[in-house]
């Protein structure tokens, strides 16, 4: 069974979150040289059998979304994001 993550970026709300959750996402993005959206999408697809179809209205969104693939969060960073988003 494959799970599809629907609206993985919370319709953009995730990327404008200034709470502790948002700060952790930004901190992790800086560590990897990625955008918060790329980190969030990479987190979603970290486990096997999970896919996502993020919305992309502009060419830049498509390019940014593609930057979520081809690398992997460390297990430590994945777990840290899991803890804060629970």
In this prediction, residue 16 carries a pLDDT of 66
CB contact at 8 A, 39 and 28: yes
Quote the pLDDT of residue 32.
Answer: 98
Q: What's the predicted TM-score (pTM) here?
A: 0.87
Report which of residues 72 and 17 the model is more confident about. 72
- Model confidence pLDDT, tens digit, residues 12-36: 666 666 778 888 999 999 999 999 9
Q: For position 47, what pLDDT does the model report? A: 86
Phi and psi (nearest 5°) for 3?
Answer: -105, 135
């Amino acid at each position: 069974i494959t799970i599809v993550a629907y609206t993985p970026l919370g319709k953009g709300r995730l990327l404008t979150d200034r709470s502790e959750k948002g700060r952790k996402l930004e901190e992790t993005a800086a560590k990897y040289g990625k955008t918060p959206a790329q980190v969030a999408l990479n987190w979603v697809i970290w486990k096997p059998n999970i896919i996502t179809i993020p919305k992309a209205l502009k060419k830049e969104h498509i390019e940014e979304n593609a930057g979520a693939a081809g690398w992997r969060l460390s297990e430590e960073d994945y777990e840290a994001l899991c803890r804060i988003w629970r």
